[in-house]
Structures are given as C-alpha cells and as structure tokens.
Structure 1
C-alpha cells in the first residue's frame, strides 16, 4: 500500500532559545528496517510522560526535535515482518514509543512489530486510546491485585483517582464488584469519582496527615497507588493483614520512608507495575479483558477528544494538574 503523499503531519517539539515549542509540522517517510511496521495512526492519547517530553524533560526524551505520544492505534500500512500484515489493526503503547522513538502524535509511526498488539475484536480504536497506557497500567494493576484480593475481602484504595490510571482503576474495580475508596486532592471531583463507581472519596490531605507511626489502623484490603511518596507510605501502613498494594507512579515522590513492620507484622505485599516493558503475553491478556469482561459501563464518560492542533493547551493543563480522566487525540477518521 503506497502513501499518497511524500510527507505526513506530526506534532513536533523543537528547542528554541532554551524553550520547547510544539507545533504541527510535515515529516518525511523513512524506509522500514527488518521486522518493522508502518502504522497509519487513527488515535493517540495524552499522558503525563508526553507532557514531560513536550516540556523538554531529558529524563524522558534525550534529543530534539521530537514527536511525543506513548500511545497509538491504527492500521498497518506496510509490514517488513512475518507476524503482522498490511491491514491489521494494532495498538502500540509504551516500550520506547514517544520517548526517544517518534511517537503517536503523528499520522504515521514506524516501530518494531514486536511492540504491536492486535486490536481485540470487541474494542474500537477510540476505546483503545480511552484506555491507552493508562488503561493498560490500570489493567495490569488490577490483574495482579485480583490474584490475591477478592471483592468480599474489603475496600480497595485508589490514589490519584482523577488521573488516567486512577479513574480507569476505579471504574474497572467497580465493574468487578470491588468496594472502592478513591483518594484525590481535588475536593470538587467527588461527584465525578462516585459516578465512576467509588463508594467513598478520601482527600489526599486526609491520607497525608495520618499519624507518623510504623503501623496505622487497618483500613484497606488492597490498593492501587499511582502517586508514591507519603500517600503510598500511609496506604501500606493502613493495609489489612495479607493485603496487597500495587504501585505504578512516583509523581509525589519516588522515596519510601517507613519501616518493614507492615510487611512483617501484617504480611503486606507490595507489587511494582512496569507497563513500559511488561511481557507481551500479559499485555495481550489485559487487552482482551479490557475489551470484554472488564470494560466499564462508564468508559465513554471518562474522556475528552481533541485534535493534534489542540495539544499545546492540554499539555499545559496536564502539567498544572488540571486535567481529569483521559484525553485522546484524533489523528484521522476511522
């Protein structure tokens, strides 16, 4: 299948006078290497890593100009691979996409075939990006948590609950019959979190102000933490015997300053979630669950859709902590 044009549009970040400016630019196609595919992108989504990349964070992206976008879904346009063929609909998330490899804020992406998962039959491209890396991370967290904790065991805490991973975790856990306690720093978003299925909304300040003790009153059977720092510390200290906590983020802090008592005296388990390099068989399992039994009824109420040209304003809001739910980017018509 040949492209009609020699260039395609992409949202490029360029460094100018020690500032990082994003704008839509034309890009030229590059030849495929062995085991690579060219994907015509239908949708992408905006994640915190994308916002960091767009603001010049060298811990995310080393070299500029650069195209962010750690998520993409679309149709295989060319394939130099035996595992995928032209016309296959695929999801590409994480690995190095959008970090040091040009990402999904573009009409086309060129990536290793090993990074792609076939779009499940009961999932639309739009739904795939409502989930995106955030949904995949939430799904991975829930998959690990549900191996140990059942709905009847007690409440599950979800921190950073208005963010992408948090909001989807609340909705999916609720769909599966869990009682969810949503933790947020945004008091005004209580009704939104209840609409996703939360049974209780706890303010971040409330959790952060727990007494500085090695162990606290047991409150939660399990938890999905997306922020790290003091919130994660106090969740672990408040876990019930044999409780399980997953952690996938460190926006508050990467440090844990606590004792081993919750792990020894209560048998607590802490599970790290690395969505960037998660094994492919787990990815395929989670995407299948998200397309079927785990798809929350509120999925289509938890996102906003923008164009590529609207990215600068949304990136600014994300860095200021003013976005809720998921923001997906429509690249072309399905």
Structure 2
C-alpha cells in the first residue's frame, strides 16, 4: 500500500473535514501518498484527483461542509461506469480508497471493492441511519443545531403563548427529531419509525393548555409529513395560534462539535490502518465507544432502527 485516495460523497455533514484531515495526516505519517478526489463519485469518474500534503488540510478541522466538495452521482449505479472508475483508479496507481458518506456512498464503495480496489467506508451523514455504528459523523452537530433553534423558538413561543411545529431533517430516519425533541423538551415527537396519531398529539396539547402551559413545541421529522400540514391540522382542530419552522439545510452546516471532530478523527485513523493491512470492503464505526470494522455487505443488509426506549422516555417526560 503506497498510494491511497479519500473522497466525500452524498450529502455533506459537519465533521467530514476532520475525517479528511485525519486520513491525510495519518497516511502521510505512515509514508503513504494521499490523493483527494473532488466532488465524490462524479469527480472520480471525471478524474478530479489532487495530491494532498500536510498543508492541504491545515485549518479545516473546525469547518463545516467538505473541502473536497460533494455531489450526487446516480450514474455510478451503472456497472459499466463502476468498471471504468476502477480502471481509472488502477491507472493512477491508487492502491486503496476511503469513502466518507451514507448508504448510497457505501453501495459505491462495495462495488469498487468487488472490482479489486480495497475500499473502506466511513459513515458521514447527519441522519445517523447507517447500521453497525452508534453514531455517524455529523449527527451530533445537527442535533445541537436543532436544539439551539428549539431553545430560541421556545422563548418567542412563551411570549406569545403559541404552539410551534419544528420540522427537522430525516426522510427515512427519526434520529435527529428524537434526540432534539428529547433534549429540547418537546411535547410530541413525530418520526417515520412510529405511526403518527395526531389525535394523541392534539389531546396532549389540550391537556397542557388546561394545566396552564403557555406554549408547546412539536418536533416532526420531514419523512412523516410537511410541518406546514401538521401545523394547519393542529390549528384547525384546536384553534391554537400555531407557527411552523422548517430548519432545513442549516442542520447540515456549521462548525462540528467536539464529539464529531473526535469521532471523525478516530474513524479515519482506523480506516487508514485497515488499508495499510490491505483490507477492503469494510466500514468503520463506533460501538460502545470502541472503533470497530464491519463488512460493508453486512452493514448494507441490516436495517437502521430507532431507540424505542428513548422514544418512550421522551413521551413520559413530556406529560
């Protein structure tokens, strides 16, 4: 193993830069040449390779987004395109590649491994929906961004005695909504993994009003329904003054938390170690605070699940 490459793919996540930095510096420490591939699989196909030096990753650990840029690349699902990409990597003398991203990125990593390119996946997605790891890079920062917004919303909600519906990201996974809702003291949390019953939500709002509550916060993951739809139904059925906030892409940006910076650094270091051992077709993750490696095949076969005990706790504490 003499020359490796690193890329970020799919949706960006705070902490990706910390992971890129760790790959480059750990690789150089062990005498490797490290190349950055710009714009994910799209850049791989078009040959956007850049030699990375120690100075290439200076002053990026605290930055959100990704200095390597990222892009969606549906054409990489084509086996012919995958074969061409593998041949390009071999032509450039790349002995192994590290892919930072979500499940779609891992599918591409699996394909490259099957074509003879040792590939390691690092889970980087604010949705936190990759199996075989307790946390993905970017999740903690996204949750803290949502909590900060909820704290500010609560101030104005109290002043005007309003109900606020806060829509957070999470098309297929409710991790952000659940964590932000629990930490933010939301009255109700609506997530894709649990069937939504608006009758229960409305009953809780009405009970809260009867005991003198001045405001209410409802956190809804985007995969459940539009926050505006939920807000409209609540206002029509209760008569409560209701406002809707869609946090959207601000959850993707911002300086990563210390947790995400450390997680990214540890995962990236492990990924380089695996390539140095000529291992591929694996993902790295953190389980019970230990860095572990799992076959990408195994991770892709499993289904992400929500912490049901945590969900029930949130309901209990919001009575």
**TM-score bucket of the superposed structures, by smaller chain:** 0.3 to 0.5
Q: TM-score, normalised by structure 2?
A: 0.38
Taking CA–CA contacts closer than 8 Å with sequence separation of 6 or more, which of the two structures ends up with the larger relative contact order?
2
Q: TM-score, normalised by structure 1?
A: 0.37
More strand by share: 1
Larger Rg: 2
